Structure 1
Amino acid sequence: MRPARLLCAAAMALALSACATAGPDYHPPENAVSGTPSAQGDFVAARDPAFAQAPLPDRWWSLYADPRLDALVEEALTANADLRAAEANIRKAEAVLRETTGARALSTTVSSDADLERDYSTQSGGTNIPGVVTYDLGLSLSYPLDLNGKLRRAVEGAQADREVVEAARDAVRISVAAATAKAYADVCGANYQMATVQKVIVLQQQTLDATTRLQRGGRGTAFDVSRARTAVDTSRASLPAFVAKRQGALFLLATLLGRAPADYPQDVASCSVLPRLAQPMPVGDGAALIRRRPDIRQAERTIAGDTARIGVAVADLYPSVSIGAGVASSGQLQNLGKSDSFGFSLGPLLSWSFPNRPVVKAKIDAAKAQVDVDLAKFDATVLSALQGTETALETYARDRDKAASLGRASDSAGISEGQAAKLFRFGRSDFLDLLSAQGSLASARVSHAAAEAALVDDQIAVFLALGGGWGQGEGQGAGATK
């Protein structure tokens, strides 16, 4: 056997010895926080009667049974600019994946060259010496064998990167759905609170009118009238803030729908009924949360991609081998097409840029360290998701208790105001007692209305923390409430 063939055989044997795909195969993170019983079990805060251990439906906003809200969220999920950008990022990642996969395909190279050759050594007296036209035509094919698995690992990494971008898109979808629902709820909540204040103003205006009549009849004083007017003006002063909040929510809603702020949905502007859930909130458990949350999936897929890149780095320790074939034709142009002008070659092509091993080892160590970073971030993402969900659940449960207490306080203040008004009419108490009772009623009603509106925000925060809203299913299950 010739030395060249011996060298080729030895190199092939070396390559085949590395034929097992370079680098470690990916496995889901072991000993991670996500696998512990406490992480996968029921939420601590979900023991409150406000919650149910039922699965969270994908389209959680449908639990409010509000067709207008359903339509707004679906429109946002179609037209939102951030979501369009996220979809474009997926297409970009898919293109990179196709490019990486294409490196494993057959490649073709075509070459051509033509020259005019003249012998000027015999030229004399300006005589034109005829030239000879020569040509070179070639067609070569090459197919990478990928014996060291570098290309396979690169494709695995690109596929994982695409899934990371897809998870990022799903996270945007969740945020858009929650932001749309909250903007709608803020519009309704602002109008709801404004209506509550206006009811208080009506009551206070009645007292002011009655006091004015008593003053004219000699039974009241200018001081009583001024105090009653102060109460009315103070309540009216709170209305512009609700108007501003409503308009801000409408402008945000238009933006989420992919519209200019001035093009907000006009029919939503008059909404004054708070979205309400009919049953305890379905929250599932930690295991369902870990499976559902896109940021957790994004962190896990990042580990997979960087694990594949360890293999890409390891593969640089071994040669690259491909099978090549070529057809060439060369000679004088007048002989083009004749059999003796063609040549053909077929055989393995070996490429090995003898690596600087310390440098390659350093790259391998860096790739392994990156995976360790990813594993730590994965645990941090899981812990943050669990902590955020527990906090959102606890906040909603306690705000629910607060709203119930304020509701009882509002009822009591209403009874007290009625009693004070009756005593004042019969002359058994002074005007200050009536104003004090009306002030307590106004404060209790406004506080209760604000607490009711905050509960809807809390509910949406829980749904956002649970990671609902990106799935393609219609969602099942019934809802939840205060």
Structure 2
Amino acid sequence: MRAKGRAAALAPLLAALLSGCAVGPDFAAPDAPLGAGYAVGKPVSVTQSAAIAGGGAQRLVPGHDIPGEWWRLFRSKQISALVAEAVNNHPNIAAAEAALRQARETTEADVGSFFPSATLTQSVARTQMTTAQFGGLGQSSSSSSGSQSSSSSGPTALIYTLHNTNAAVSFTPDVFGKTIRTVESDVAAAEYQRYQLEATYLALTANVVTAAITDSLYASQIKVTRDLIAAYQKQLDILQKRFELGAVSAADVVSEKALVAQAQATLPPLEKARAQTRNQLMAYLGRFPNDDKGEAIDIEHLHLPRDLPISLPSNLVRQRPDVLSAEAQLHQASANVGVATANMLPQLTLTGNGGSQASNFSQLFLPQTSVYNLATQLSGQAFDAGRLFHQREAKLAALEQAEAQYRATVISAFQNVANALQAIKHDAETLRAQVAAEKAAAESLDISQAQYSAGSTTYPTVLNAAQTLLNARLNRVQAQAARFSDTAALMQALGGGWWNRIDETPASLPKPTDLISTLPIAAAIRAEAEERSRAR
């Protein structure tokens, strides 16, 4: 209520000031790039399919919105639980939230510059002084209320009490818009931190999903390898018995042993990669490596989203947190040019002091004890060897830098989406081919084993077929995981749907494109301005 009262009382003055001249460029959000797209020609609308888990066809739906919790498209309770834990526990989220609060509090602090500042002082002083400084005057003394003196042939000591109350008010009108540009810069900085928080959230959730899928990939590859090692070991046992009976040569047994050893040699790298992936997943969850409880997902049980929403190119720049962060930095650089320009112009300061002085507290508020002082000051830099000019030139160069960085961020955003779309298209084709390759390799191994049993081929042929099947199965599992990982990458590239999330960071500071609306006193200022407009 006090804030509303303060706003109403000072709205007329602030409206007049804010309607004045604010030097420097007025920021306008960049438009979406004309003619920008994700591919040359018409993109593929439906991917290929394969008869295996995670092999379904996916349909790309342009213009559809992205759900706020996009990872739920995989229909995995375990993934949702991991993401929720990461968001609640990871320190990067807490750090980004604190940075946002800091930026917003800085803005509110600088908004106070629109108001006068007042200092109240109350003091009581007991003073003793000598009349020697007056050339020996006052050698005959007298006493009065609030003072004492003693007489002698020499200087007299004078003792008195002075009560003083004072109110000092200072106000610097924002004649050339320095304050409003400063607050504008603060608002843009707060918007930057807001979108940095969204970018941190998006990166963390995507990393958790990708890490969980990668962990499942390595687990599946380890399982495939162990199953094949067991099959090879079983075949080795059979060969060993046949060798003892003289039915096969020692060379065949040794070759099978080599195959078993080669397959076993592929396990440690896979186990190493999985262990490191688990450590990374624990870090995303805010845990230490020894806090791993073994939570994992199974690719075979994941749901591959059938319909994939694709944002229109014109909407991408309003959705990507990194693009919006770059836009906020561009806005801040623009406002800083205005601040530097205003620093080169004179500054008007209004001051006033009022209060009372008395030797007795009971007389402090009598009319004759009142004192006051009113002053106005206009100051400007007369000579600074070009310091302010070059500071403004530096801010202009920073603005050009921010413009270039914004364009680069937009280009990277479109590149990310284009790469994800290409990956989804070719992932489907790769999985289809890998499924066919695995089926052919399995059939080849069966034929080779049958031919070897009939004595119509050599055992190295069987070994080659077995090694081909191992590689085919590992590649097939990897192709399965790629479809899920690149689906997550597409959701991240499109912005992750943070604008649809229920717990989306509340925008306590509205869009920076309308500076006046960001001030707590906005409603009162606008009402006063509208009233003045109607009066004219």
Q: Distance in 1 between matches of 2:404 and 2:86?
A: 35
Structure 1 375/106 Cα, relative in aligned 2: closer, same or farther at 3 Å?
A: same
| Residues 117-174 of structure 1: CA deviation (Å, up to 9, x unaligned) | 4224357589983412334431122344323222111111111110011111111111
Structure 1 residue 179: Cα displacement: 0.9
Structure 1 365/397 Cα, relative in aligned 2: closer, same or farther at 3 Å?
A: same
| Residues 165-202 of structure 1: CA deviation (Å, up to 9, x unaligned) | 11111111111011111111121111111111122223
1:59 to 69, 76, 88: 69
RMSD of aligned C-alpha atoms?
3.0
Structure 1 residue 296: Cα displacement: 0.7
Matched with 1:8 is none
Matched with 1:392 is 420
Give 3-state SS (helix, strand or coil) of 1:282's partner.
strand
Matched with 2:390 is 362
Bigger CA drift: 349-358 or 377-386? Answer: 349-358
8 Å CA contact 1:310, 1:364 repeated in 2: yes
Give 3-state SS (helix, strand or coil) of 2:499's partner.
coil
Give 3-state SS (helix, strand or coil) of 1:418's partner.
helix
1:414 to 436, 439, 442: 442
Give 3-state SS (helix, strand or coil) of 2:176's partner.
coil
Q: TM-score, with normalisation over the residues of structure 1? A: 0.85
| Residues 33-59 of structure 1: CA deviation (Å, up to 9, x unaligned) | x321224x7776942633502433332
Give 3-state SS (helix, strand or coil) of 2:175's partner.
coil
Q: Distance in 2 between matches of 1:455 and 1:132?
A: 90
8 Å CA contact 2:128, 2:157 repeated in 1: no
Aligned counterparts, 1:160-199, within 5 A = 160-199=188-227
Structure 1 residue 16: Cα displacement: 8.8
2:467 to 419, 435, 439: 439
Structure 1 residue 248: Cα displacement: 1.6
Matched with 2:36 is 38
Structure 1 169/407 Cα, relative in aligned 2: closer, same or farther at 3 Å?
A: same
Give 3-state SS (helix, strand or coil) of 2:356's partner.
strand
8 Å CA contact 2:126, 2:162 repeated in 1: yes
Q: Is 1:106–2:107 an aligned residue pair?
A: no
| Residues 414-442 of structure 1: CA deviation (Å, up to 9, x unaligned) | 11111222222333333333222222212
Matched residue count: 455
Give 3-state SS (helix, strand or coil) of 1:47's partner.
coil
Q: Distance in 1 between matches of 2:152 and 2:71?
A: 95
8 Å CA contact 1:61, 1:181 repeated in 2: yes
Structure 1: gaps spanning 5 or more residues: 1-14, 476-482
Give 3-state SS (helix, strand or coil) of 2:246's partner.
coil
Matched with 1:5 is none
Q: Distance in 2 between matches of 1:44 and 1:74?
A: 40
Structure 1 residue 355: Cα displacement: 4.6
Give 3-state SS (helix, strand or coil) of 1:330's partner.
strand
Matched with 2:99 is 89
Q: Is 1:430–2:431 an aligned residue pair?
A: no
Q: Distance in 2 between matches of 1:58 and 1:470?
A: 5
Q: Distance in 2 between matches of 1:376 and 1:240?
A: 47
Q: Is 1:116–2:127 an aligned residue pair?
A: yes
Q: Distance in 2 between matches of 1:175 and 1:43?
A: 28
Q: Kindly provide the amino acid, as one letter, of the partner of residue 236 in structure 1.
A: Q
Q: TM-score, with normalisation over the residues of structure 2? A: 0.77
2:482 to 438, 454, 468: 454
Q: Distance in 1 between matches of 2:383 and 2:20?
A: 21
8 Å CA contact 1:413, 1:440 repeated in 2: yes
Q: Distance in 2 between matches of 1:426 and 1:18?
A: 98
Aligned counterparts, 1:181-330, within 5 A = 181-268=209-296, 271=298, 273=300, 275-321=302-348, 324-330=351-357
Q: Is 1:23–2:24 an aligned residue pair?
A: yes
Q: Distance in 2 between matches of 1:440 and 1:27?
A: 60
Matched with 1:47 is 44
| Higher helix fraction (1 or 2) | 1
| Residues 290-344 of structure 1: CA deviation (Å, up to 9, x unaligned) | 2211111111111212222222222234443455543221243464343311134
8 Å CA contact 1:100, 1:155 repeated in 2: yes
| Residues 71-98 of structure 1: CA deviation (Å, up to 9, x unaligned) | 1112212211111111111011012111
Q: Distance in 2 between matches of 1:139 and 1:200?
A: 89
